[in-house]
Structure 1
Amino acid sequence: MPYIDQLNRKLQITETPKRIISLVPSQTELLVDLGLETSIVGVTKFCVHPKHLKKTKTVVGGTKQINIEKIKALKPDIILCNKEENTKEIIDELESTAPVHVSDIYNLEDCFELIEMYGSIFKVEAKASEIITKIKNDRKQFQEKITVKQQPKVAYFIWKNPWMVSASNTFIDYMLYEAGFKNVFENDQRYPEIELSSSKLKEADIIFLSSEPFPFKDKHILELQSRFPQQTIKIVDGEMFSWYGSRLQQAFKYFESLHSIK
């Protein structure tokens, strides 16, 4: 049966896949929450949820570098990738091994579509629908609780040396808006390198330091606080802003805490 992924690529899948390799951490977690843990045979070294998974599955590399021989030896029925996380070269190389499904995520509708796709491909439609419904309900409840008339302006750092922020045309920027914030770098593209002298940083009410991909710590708060004494500087859980899939079931409760909503 032909399936279409989020790049409109056709996949020929004759039977429900029973041996899955996931090269995307958030999608690995989604598979587990869909009840498919026993079908997962290969993951990346960054697939940290659930914590025990890497001890029971074969680690086939990272998201940008893979061990193609390990992947072939696992005889997968399907390989799950993402346009941003995995390179085109990796996807092209894998296609001779098994059907490759590629996600492409910019907003919540894309997330819901991906969850539905997995529900259909792996015949877990009911569980997929349950996850989507919970996310939509949490989102609605969050929006009803937010009473902030003006969105706080934020800068969202993802890297140091060089300093990099998340700007427009990214899932993080979209989730900042969903969380009730306004990105001061919304007119820039993707993940620009910036100088700490940037005038836009002075516009921010809050400076967020993401817990990933760069592991910002308290010492980095102190480093920036000396330069920006008027701004609130906070380390935030990067998974809540950048992981799509079932992690979104936790996101809106977390966003609520960032606004200190009683």
Structure 2
Amino acid sequence: MRVISLVPSITEALFDLGLATDEIVGRTKFCIHPKDLVREVEIIGGTKNLNLDKIKSLKPDLIIANKEENVKEQVEELMKDFRVLVTNVDTLEDNYYLLKQLAHLFGKEEKAQFFNLKTYEAFDITRSEKPLKVAYLIWKNPYMTVGGDTFISRILEELGFENLFKNQKRYPEIQLEDLKVADLIFLSSEPFPFKEQHIDEIREVCQNQKILIVDGEAFSWYGTHLAKCGKYYRELLKNV
């Protein structure tokens, strides 16, 4: 089967499940894992700006997209000519069934079960009785955070944190003043690449909060990636 993945974390999952480079024939420029294998796969644009002509030229049997990461109109255009699987992952349970679905499609049930078990092990942690309030920033100029209806927020909850903006939707814009009631401020490494200099800028307003740069992939990449983050989660919890 010739497969094109329009989702970075799903590209990683397909390789982890055991698909080869002659089966995954197209991927986005943001599909960066596993590094040694994705370099062998044709780039078909970005997640939001697909090269539809390039995709059509590759003659895929299946295209895998995501409700949030891809543009609806582009996906619908591809549906006219190709079989398209549109995924939607909001919770760990959704992630479990995503891997089960991919495993069924490609006959990789045993590997999917392995990664699902490793994912649940990654979140088998001791949680604080009183959750710390976390503001998780994903963008600068304007500052943007995550609402309670996002996958990132669910991962924060699974780790025992309380999302300061859990009552808001999707990715609201905020002011630094809004962060003063947080216990912790997490600056994600993606999509905006927060660095140490940004901690200093935020600390001018938020002087009483602990501010950390966190691995954005560990909070937003579903599929098999979560199964590899157990050690990172434990170190992060120890640090806070």
Smaller-chain TM-score bracket: over 0.9
- TM-score (normalised: structure 1): 0.88
Amino acid at match of 1:130: F
Choose from 150, 158, 183 the match for 2:138. Answer: 158
Partners of 1:147 and 1:21 in 2: CA distance: 39
Partners of 1:234 and 1:139 in 2: CA distance: 20
Amino acid at match of 2:217: E
Amino acid at match of 1:33: D
Q: Give matches, 1:39-188, under 5 Å.
A: 39-140=23-124, 142=125, 146-188=126-168
CA deviation string 1:147-181 (max 9, x = no partner):
52211111000000111001110000000001111
Q: Is contact 1:179–1:252 with CA below 8 Å preserved after alignment?
A: no
Choose from 23, 31, 43 the match for 2:6. Answer: 23
Question: Where has structure 1 moved over 3 Å in runs of 4 or more?
Answer: none
Q: Is contact 1:155–1:207 with CA below 8 Å preserved after alignment?
A: yes
Partner of 1:33: 16
Q: By how many angstroms is 1:227 displaced?
A: 1.3
Partner of 1:15: none
CA deviation string 1:52-105 (max 9, x = no partner):
334211000000111111111111010000000011101111112320001111
SS state of the match for residue 137, structure 2? strand
Partner of 1:208: 186
Choose from 212, 234, 255 the match for 2:212. Answer: 234
Partner of 1:244: 222
**Aligned residue pairs: how many?**
238
Q: Is contact 1:44–1:60 with CA below 8 Å preserved after alignment?
A: yes
Partners of 1:210 and 1:27 in 2: CA distance: 20
Partners of 2:2 and 2:19 in 1: CA distance: 10
SS state of the match for residue 212, structure 2? strand
Partners of 1:91 and 1:43 in 2: CA distance: 14
Partner of 1:7: none
Of stretches 147-156 and 36-45 in structure 1, the one that deviates more from structure 2 is 147-156
Partners of 2:111 and 2:39 in 1: CA distance: 25
CA deviation string 1:207-240 (max 9, x = no partner):
0000001111111011111211111110000001
C-alpha distance 260-22 of structure 1, shift in aligned 2 (>3 A): same
> What is the aligned-residue identity percentage?
50
Partner of 1:8: none
Partners of 2:216 and 2:20 in 1: CA distance: 24
Q: Is contact 2:133–2:164 with CA below 8 Å preserved after alignment?
A: yes
Amino acid at match of 1:180: G
- TM-score (normalised: structure 2): 0.96
SS state of the match for residue 245, structure 1? coil
Amino acid at match of 1:233: I
* RMSD after superposition: 1.2
Partner of 1:218: 196
